[in-house]
Amino acid sequence: MMYSEKVLDHFSNPRNVGEIDDADGVGEIGNAKCGDIMKMYLKIDKGIITDAKFKTFGCGAAVATSSMATELIKGKSIDDALKLTNDAVVEALDGLPAVKVHCSVLAEQAVRAALSDYYTRQGIDPLPIVGEIKEPEE
Amino acid sequence: MMYSEKVLDHFSNPRNVGEIDDADGVGEIGNAKCGDIMKMYLKIDKGIITDAKFKTFGCGAAVATSSMATELIKGKSIDDALKLTNDAVVEALDGLPAVKVHCSVLAEQAVRAALSDYYTRQGIDPLPIVGEIKEPEE
Amino acid sequence: MEKRFIYADNAATTAVSDEVLSAMLPHFTKAYGNASSIYKLGRDAQADVEKAREKVAVALGADPKEIFFTSCGSESDNWAIKGTAEMMSKKGKKHIVTSVFEHHAVLHTCEYLEKHGFEVTYVPVDEKGLIDSENVRNAIREDTALVTIMYANNEIGTIQPIEEIAKICHEKKVLFHTDAVQAVGHVEIDVKKQGIDMLSLSGHKIHAQKGIGALYVRKGIVLPNLIHGGGQERGKRAGTENVPAIVGLGRAIEIACSNIVEKADIVTPKRNRLIDGILKLPYTRLNGDRDKRLPGNLNISIEGIEGESLLLMLDLNGICASSGSACTSGSLDPSHVLLSIGLKHEVAHGSLRLSIEEDITDEDVDYILEVIPKVVERLREMSPVWEKMMNGEEVK
Amino acid sequence: MEKRFIYADNAATTAVSDEVLSAMLPHFTKAYGNASSIYKLGRDAQADVEKAREKVAVALGADPKEIFFTSCGSESDNWAIKGTAEMMSKKGKKHIVTSVFEHHAVLHTCEYLEKHGFEVTYVPVDEKGLIDSENVRNAIREDTALVTIMYANNEIGTIQPIEEIAKICHEKKVLFHTDAVQAVGHVEIDVKKQGIDMLSLSGHKIHAQKGIGALYVRKGIVLPNLIHGGGQERGKRAGTENVPAIVGLGRAIEIACSNIVEKADIVTPKRNRLIDGILKLPYTRLNGDRDKRLPGNLNISIEGIEGESLLLMLDLNGICASSGSACTSGSLDPSHVLLSIGLKHEVAHGSLRLSIEEDITDEDVDYILEVIPKVVERLREMSPVWEKMMNGEEVK
Ligand SMILES: Cc1ncc(COP(=O)(O)O)c(C=O)c1O
Ligand SMILES: Cc1ncc(COP(=O)(O)O)c(C=O)c1O
């Protein structure tokens, strides 16, 4: 198993760690039993993600993918954020070991979960827009 | 498999190599198929082995045991020579690898074969004195 | 606090020591003969191999003829277990007793045999990581071919009652193998006194090269080969002898077993200081019995954080440590060893193993005890699990 | 004539070259991390292992994912054959095709399988030491699990029609393994072009360490493990990676395969001069085809003398040579290889193998050609067999 320099960089200096107290959407995915939990906080203004923060319990890849995912969506429109795929996260990190690809899926789903929460708070049914959130299998 | 220094010495500088043209007894044992043939020549005077020589086709141990056996019987009485055991040869050589112990048996039997020949030439049935000569099994 | 480099993962592997390397070096480029060759270059190689075998034998209280060199601890385990299985299945004995927290080299070999008609009983361990020898007794059946129980666990360092277990095996007339890869050089072993029939060891845990190991097989046991071919190792293990590594193993085991007690006297207090220091952190627990453990081993669960990130953070601070066994990193499951002593999955995920040796300084210990709390704090700060714990929420 | 030291037994083993050793050295005492460890010391080790794997793959025309490191050529052979046997026996295929003159690592593995319900067909070789691929075709049955034929013979150096045999295997949909331990680095190999499914190699024949080997397994073949345990080698071969030896193998194969043609151009004429020189002695014969053989190999039977004493005499003159294979020295039977090409026992006993490399000088060749006749004369003088031959008596 080998981490790219990019992964190690995003692990050592994770971008956007923390919480947003007055977040507009908060999503959490994963479970401690599997060893990974990601919690994502979004600040959204006029359809634009103006800030993103995360807290993560998990391996190096879990931290790095959280960090990268927040970087990739910050300043983007919700539409663009919804288009974020785990592949894009993996690519942006110069790849992930095969056993760690599931972390990028978690990161993708954490973003969607936060957006889902955002719509719910707006009184809008998120399902048609965000789709089903996939919890990792145990 | 490991040869002692003694074995290597007796191989490198074998004592008593050659033939005795007017030998009083000549014995040959072994066969080329098994990879070992020893031919032993004895000069016998009044029951004493005054000279012994050998020719050997075979491995290092075959040469060394032939060499040592001739050394051990030279100057000895026939009776003493008949008491020469393969163990004595092995001991005198500071041991032999297990797979090579059969060479010492050959050397012992070569001496007996030569003594057998000596008695036969004297018109004496060697069997009661020397016993059966054991050829190696194929 | 100045950054240091501290290798605290000697249970994963060790550096080849200078003494061992200098014993090995001539055998690469000068004394490179094949130990089966008849000329002097070969005979000398063979003599050196036999000297090394003697040293391994002395270290274990065995006869040199009972020592067979292998390519690693894993091969030794595979050979002992599969070989015994093959041998005993001819007598209709197709049952093996082992423990739930063996190394994978034993467990996966047992699982392989289960797929090939064997039954395996996995004896449990208690919450302190110890095996009750009575459980072994009760697991033995008429058709038991082998009992294989590790000498010391590689993750939590607990030392098992090997002599007791061996005694039970002998009473029941069952062969007993022990994976002593973690024990050799750290605890005193005497295969004859302890009644051990087969014992696996590995060079790279005691400052010899990786890729060299040995199996002790008590005289009288005719173990079938795992690797067939040339006549090396008295026909029991084919493959041109790895002379440099074998010579190195001989030297390494000689050194490692020359001062076991003294080393333990040096290491144990330092190890204890580390344990006590780390346990000051809230929500931590020591895994494995505090006393019946390898002198240099500590294994502590730190709740709210995940092991791999902890290791990566420690690495950034110059500390090499482990979480679970190195062989299974890359795997997503928490350590089967930690689960076996009753840890919950989420706790098992956050464990730290340090395995130190007598060369660790007091300053190193100070440094580790300074770094760990900082790193733990940082990881806990970013951990949603820790947040939940602090809020009294349930962690699922 | 001044005494020289000439190592002419490179088929038995080779010295680790300085270049290889210097690639290995850092990995003993400095870059000693366990390749499965997560910290930098471990990650770097893993990166180095992967670089070595890449080099082995390039040398064979394979993909790095198809290369698995093992502890020796013998293990590779055992793994390929037993693994395939296990895999195919599930489909009811319990027949193996091999040749009569394989290395013992293959033969004894086949014999082991015969004891475990397999049938083995041993294809003959002709008097020149070559296998007729049509014999392989005819040996293949409906239930054939594997064909395993060596690339080049270790005693007489003959090179087999591997591509033809592979083609037949593929037509017949049978897996094809080749023991290329003697071929790698001496003949050009491209597993894809040649259609090889599995290939064994060993480091110590090409100036890497003893105790390291590799098995190429074509993508798509899911070979069961020989050694179970940790997740090393993508779960296919347990045991902490022997990083120094692996790195050394990578470097060694890179060097060995970089100039195969040039090396052959240098070695072949020298080898031929040795052949012609030795054949001037009466009652000698070259064993194995003169052209379809490894550039550095010669094997000559010298009647009237026995091989071991010849080797010991040569050794006293500083020449390291072999008779039969090193693995079986200590055995009393004449080489099964020489018997397979039709030699009588007594002739087979007196054979000489020289295996030279491009570093041999013309003076070395001169020296060998001076020493051998003297030594042969001396041994013949003391040989009762030679005496009989000269007297026209029958030699029994
Ligand atoms: C043809 C052949 N196969 C297999 C082997 C075994 O290789 P190793 O000694 O690395 O096990 C050898 C050499 O000993 C060989 O020449
Ligand atoms: C208890 C135990 N058994 C077996 C092994 C396997 O040893 P090796 O890596 O030499 O195959 C190890 C270490 O990896 C171990 O700790």
Q: Tokens at residue C216, please?
A: 């002790």
Distance of CA C206 to the CA centre of its chain: 10
DSSP state of D327: G
Distance between Cα D237 and ligand 1 center (Å): 19
**C103 in ligand 2 pocket by Cβ < 6 Å?**
yes
Atom index in ligand 2 nearest the CA of residue C102 equals: 1
Rounded to the nearest 5°, which phi and psi values hold at D289?
-55, 140
Q: Is the pLDDT of residue D329 over 60?
A: no
Q: Which amino acid is at D31?
A: A
Q: How much is the average pLDDT of B3-9? A: 94
**Residue C328: per-residue pLDDT:** 44
| Closest CB to A33 among C309, C329, C346 | C346
Of C344, C337, C355, residue with least CA distance to C150: C337
Cα of C279 to nearest chain A Cα, Å: 21
Q: How much is the average pLDDT of C278-302? A: 97
**Residue C325: per-residue pLDDT:** 47
Q: Rounded to an integer, what distance in angstroms lies between the CA atom of residue D209 and that of residue C241?
A: 10
Smallest CA separation from ligand 1 atom 16, residue = D154
Chain D residues with at least one Cβ partner in B under 8 Å: 304-309, 312, 316, 329-332, 334, 344-346, 349, 381-387, 395-396
Partners of C95 in beta bridges: C119, C144
Q: Given an 8 Å threshold on Cβ–Cβ distance, is C309 in contact with A59?
A: yes
Distance of CA D239 to the CA centre of its chain: 24
Q: How much is the average pLDDT of D67-75? A: 98
Q: Quick one: which H or E segment has residue D69?
A: strand D67-70
Distance between Cα C215 and ligand 2 center (Å): 13
Atom index in ligand 1 nearest the CA of residue D74 equals: 11
B103 classed as catalytic: yes
Partners of D293 in beta bridges: D158
What does each C-alpha distance from A68 to A10, A25, C174 come to in angstroms?
A: 7, 18, 57
pLDDT tens digits, C65-75:
999 999 999 99
pLDDT tens digits, D295-304:
999 999 999 9
Q: What percent of chain D has pLDDT over 90?
A: 94
Of C255, C214, C108, A17, residue with least CA distance to D232: C108
- List all residues 6 or more positions away from B106 whose beta carbon is below 8 Å from its beta carbon: B29, B30, B36, B38, B58, B62, B65, B136
Q: Chain C contact for B60, CB < 8 A?
A: yes
Q: Tokens at residue C186, please?
A: 């750290």
Q: Which long-range contacts (CB under 8 A, 24 or more apart) does D86-93 make?
A: D86/D224, D87/D145, D87/D222, D87/D223, D87/D224, D88/D145, D88/D146, D88/D175, D89/D117, D89/D118, D89/D145, D92/D143, D93/D143, D93/D144, D93/D145
For D202, the 3-state DSSP assignment is strand
Q: Tokens at residue C361, please?
A: 């300084």
Which among C37, C50, C89, C308 is the top mutation candidate for probing chain D, defined by the most D β-carbons within 10 Å of its own β-carbon?
C37
Neighbours of B138 (CB within 10 A): 7
Q: How confident is the model at residue C6 (pLDDT cuts 50, 70, 90)?
A: very high
Where b means 16+ CB within 10 Å and e means fewer, D152-182 reads bbbbbbbbbbbebbbbbbeebebbbbbbbbb
Q: Tokens at residue C319, please?
A: 């500390």
pLDDT tens digits, C239-257:
999 999 999 999 999 999 9
Q: Is the pLDDT of residue C310 over 50?
A: yes
DSSP state of A93: T
Q: Chain D contact for B12, CB < 8 A?
A: yes
Which partners does chain C have (≥3 C-beta pairs < 8 Å)?
A: A, B, D
Q: How confident is the model at residue B136 (pLDDT cuts 50, 70, 90)?
A: confident
Q: How much is the average pLDDT of D306-330? A: 82
Where b means 16+ CB within 10 Å and e means fewer, C21-58 reads bebbbebbeebbbbbbbbbebbbbbbebbeebbebbbb
Q: Rounded to an integer, what distance in angstroms lies between the CA atom of residue D395 and that of residue C196?
A: 54
**Residue C329: per-residue pLDDT:** 47
Distance between Cα A92 and ligand 1 center (Å): 46
pLDDT tens digits, C311-343:
999 999 999 999 864 444 455 678 999 999 999
pLDDT tens digits, C89-102:
999 999 999 999 99
Which partners does chain D have (≥3 C-beta pairs < 8 Å)?
A: A, B, C
Q: Chain C contact for A85, CB < 8 A?
A: no
pLDDT tens digits, C155-187:
999 999 999 999 999 999 999 999 999 999 999
Q: Chain D contact for C37, CB < 8 A?
A: yes
Q: Given an 8 Å threshold on Cβ–Cβ distance, is A57 in contact with C345?
A: no
Distance between Cα C108 and ligand 2 center (Å): 13
Compute the radius of gyration of chain D from its Cα atoms: 22
**C105 in ligand 2 pocket by Cβ < 6 Å?**
yes
Do chains B and C touch by CB distance (3+ pairs < 8 Å)?
yes
Mean pLDDT of chain D: 96
The ipTM, to two decimals, is 0.95
Q: Rounded to an integer, what distance in angstroms lies between the CA atom of residue C293 and that of residue C153?
A: 9
Q: Rounded to an integer, what distance in angstroms lies between the CA atom of residue D84 and that of residue D68?
A: 15
**C329 in ligand 2 pocket by Cβ < 6 Å?**
no
Distance of CA A111 to the CA centre of its chain: 4
For C70, the 3-state DSSP assignment is strand
**Which residues of chain C are within 8 Å of residue A55 when distances are taken between CB atoms?**
382-384, 387
Q: How much is the average pLDDT of B106-110? A: 96
**C74 in ligand 2 pocket by Cβ < 6 Å?**
yes
| Residue located via tokens 């087999």 | D160
Q: Chain C contact for B2, CB < 8 A?
A: yes
Q: How much is the average pLDDT of C119-148? A: 98
Of B110, B96, B18, B33, residue with least CA distance to B64: B96
Q: Given an 8 Å threshold on Cβ–Cβ distance, is D349 in contact with B11?
A: no
- List all residues 6 or more positions away from A83 whose beta carbon is below 8 Å from its beta carbon: none
Q: Is the pLDDT of residue C41 over 60?
A: yes
**Residue A1: per-residue pLDDT:** 65
SS (H, E, C) D335-375: CHHHHHCCCCHHHHCCEEEEECCCCCCHHHHHHHHHHHHHH
Burial of D184 (0-12, 13-18, 19+ CB in 10 A): buried
**Residue B1: per-residue pLDDT:** 65
Q: Given an 8 Å threshold on Cβ–Cβ distance, is B60 in contact with C38?
A: yes
Q: Given an 8 Å threshold on Cβ–Cβ distance, is C382 in contact with A37?
A: no
Q: Rounded to an integer, what distance in angstroms lies between the CA atom of residue C33 and that of residue C45?
A: 6
Neighbours of C167 (CB within 10 A): 16
Q: How confident is the model at residue D328 (pLDDT cuts 50, 70, 90)?
A: very low
The CA-based dihedral angle spanning residues D371, D377, D382, D385, taken in that order and rounded to the nearest 10 degrees:
120
Rounded to the nearest 5°, which phi and psi values hold at C196?
-85, 130
Q: Given an 8 Å threshold on Cβ–Cβ distance, is B2 in contact with C38?
A: no
What does each C-alpha distance from B92 to B79, B88, B96, B105 come to in angstroms?
A: 19, 6, 10, 14
Q: Rounded to an integer, what distance in angstroms lies between the CA atom of residue D16 and that of residue D21?
A: 6
> Are the beta carbons of B108 and B36 closer than 8 angstroms?
no
Ordered alpha helix ranges (H), chain C:
18-24, 26-29, 40-60, 73-89, 104-114, 133-139, 162-171, 191-194, 243-256, 260-279, 307-316, 336-340, 345-348, 362-381, 384-390
Which among D37, D38, D51 is the top mutation candidate for probing chain A, defined by the most A β-carbons within 10 Å of its own β-carbon?
D38
Q: Is the pLDDT of residue D252 over 90?
A: yes
pLDDT tens digits, D156-171:
999 999 999 999 999 9
DSSP state of D155: T
Pocket test for ligand 2, best of D49, D75, D240, D242 (most atoms within 8 A of CB): D240
**D324 in ligand 1 pocket by Cβ < 6 Å?**
no
Which among D10, D34, D319 is the top mutation candidate for probing chain C, defined by the most C β-carbons within 10 Å of its own β-carbon?
D34
Q: Which amino acid is at C327?
A: C
pLDDT greater at residue C114 or residue A135: C114
pLDDT tens digits, D264-293:
999 999 999 999 999 999 999 999 999 999
**Residue C332: per-residue pLDDT:** 61
Low-confidence winner among B1-5, C276-280, D366-370 (lowest mean pLDDT): B1-5
Rounded to the nearest 5°, which phi and psi values hold at D363?
-65, -35
pLDDT tens digits, D99-123:
999 999 999 999 999 999 999 999 9
Q: Quick one: which H or E segment has residue D124?
A: none
Do chains A and B touch by CB distance (3+ pairs < 8 Å)?
no
